[in-house]
């Protein structure tokens, strides 16, 4: 496991202890039960794939450990609306504060645009899965490198019990095999992260090298390092139709316009 991931997970264990002392798991479950019903996250992506369109999860990311501050003027509600106008199928919101300058409230604000939203964070406990639902998340990210097999399964089960989908992230063949041990209902979306968390190097070849090992009953999402039309076309040529895109859109003055151009989608007014 990489040092940065190790460090982040230590922070998450501390945060979890604080959160539990503030809101009991029971009270959190009640809050999750009162939340607006989940919007179909995986279904929204599948619908795009069936229409032979790029299925984009557009990410709201203010900063990252590898790039520092990416977007100083960060208005989640505006960004979410721009992404919707630019053709995003779904949104990703970083809720981690310590490393990505994200926040739970950004997720709440992003929901206003009407698209399904994933809680992008480092989840290690079902308590955080319930938090995600209580804040209105429709999907959670599960990072295989951060979890053992039993944890991976129990977090995925907790998400599905709350009506959410999961995006299960891998970065090599061994992790992919572990993800695929879960049935499609627990792992409908397979994310291949092109960023190596040890070196921060990004190579789209990571997705291409694993492409053939992903069965047709999962939607493959290529994550990180998508910057230009050619990147999209290269993936489509390899039968990859799902994209998770953050930085290249976040750096544009109007991220919605940038997305529309990237995927050749008509920019909606508003
Ligand atoms: O900004 P990029 O290179 O387009 O990447 C987006 C997304 O893939 C990246 O933010 C990411 C992928 N997996 C993660 C796990 C945690 C935090 C962030 C991530």
User: How far is residue 135 from each of residues 35, 48, 103, 138, 217, measured CA to CA in Å?
Assistant: 7, 26, 11, 9, 29
Task: Kindly report the pTM of this predicted structure.
Answer: 0.98
Please check whether residue 64 is in contact with residue 251, taking contact to mean a CB–CB distance below 8 angstroms. Answer: no
Backbone angles phi, psi at 239, to 5 degrees: 65, 35
Catalytic position from the list 64, 92, 194, 224: 224
Phi-psi region of 31 (alpha: psi -120 to 50; beta: other; left: phi over 0): alpha
CB of 169 within 6 A of ligand 1: the answer is yes
Tokens 């209580």, residue located: 134
Q: Name the residue among 84, 173, 102, 199 with its Cα closest to residue 141.
A: 102
3-state secondary structure of 159: helix
Question: Tokens for 170?
Answer: 């891998």
3-state secondary structure of 242: strand
CB of 168 within 6 A of ligand 1: the answer is no
Q: Name the residue among 24, 82, 78 with its Cα closest to residue 58.
A: 82
Distance (Å, rounded) from C-alpha 242 to C-alpha 223?
A: 9
Ligand 1 pocket: which of 4, 6, 59, 122 to mutate (most atoms <8 Å of CB)? Answer: 59
pLDDT means per 10 residues, the chain with 270 residues, are 88 98 98 98 98 98 97 98 98 98 98 98 98 98 98 98 98 98 98 91 98 98 98 98 98 98 94
Ligand 1, residue 100: give the atom nearest the CA: 17
Output the CA 27–ligand 1 centroid distance in Å: 31
- Return the pLDDT at 1: 58
Within its chain, how far is the Cα of 9 from the centroid? 17
CB of 102 within 6 A of ligand 1: the answer is no
Can you list the domains of the chain with their CATH numbers? Answer: 3-263 (3.20.20.70)
- Return the pLDDT at 7: 96
Please check whether residue 151 is in contact with residue 144, taking contact to mean a CB–CB distance below 8 angstroms. Answer: no
- Return the pLDDT at 3: 85
CB of 220 within 6 A of ligand 1: the answer is no
- In sequence order, what E strands does 65-133 have? 68-69, 90-94, 117-120
- Return the pLDDT at 197: 82
Please check whether residue 190 is in contact with residue 214, taking contact to mean a CB–CB distance below 8 angstroms. Answer: yes
């Amino acid at each position: 496991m990489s040092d940065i991931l190790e460090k982040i997970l230590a922070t998450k264990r501390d945060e979890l202890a604080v959160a539990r002392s503030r809101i009991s798991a029971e009270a959190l479950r009640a809050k999750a039960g009162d939340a607006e019903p989940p919007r179909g996250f995986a279904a929204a992506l599948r619908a795009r794939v069936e229409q032979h369109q790029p299925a984009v999860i557009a990410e709201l990311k203010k900063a990252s450990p590898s790039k520092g501050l990416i977007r100083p003027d960060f208005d989640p509600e505006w960004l979410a609306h721009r992404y919707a106008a630019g053709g995003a199928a779904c949104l990703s919101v970083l809720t981690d504060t310590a490393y990505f300058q994200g926040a739970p409230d950004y997720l709440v604000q992003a929901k206003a645009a009407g698209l399904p939203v994933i809680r992008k964070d480092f989840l290690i406990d079902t308590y955080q899965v319930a938090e995600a639902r209580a804040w209105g998340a429709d999907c959670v990210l599960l990072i295989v490198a951060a979890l053992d097999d039993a944890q991976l399964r129990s977090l995925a089960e907790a998400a599905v019990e709350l009506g959410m989908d999961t995006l299960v992230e891998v970065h090599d063949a061994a992790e992919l095999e572990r993800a695929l041990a879960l049935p499609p209902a627990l792992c409908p979306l397979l994310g291949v992260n092109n960023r190596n968390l040890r070196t921060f190097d990004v190579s789209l070849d990571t997705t291409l090298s694993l492409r053939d090992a992903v069965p047709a009953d999962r939607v493959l999402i290529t994550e990180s390092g998508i910057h230009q039309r050619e990147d999209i076309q290269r993936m489509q040529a390899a039968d990859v139709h799902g994209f998770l895109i953050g930085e290249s859109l976040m750096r544009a003055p109007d991220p919605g316009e940038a997305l529309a151009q990237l995927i050749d989608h008509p920019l909606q007014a508003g």
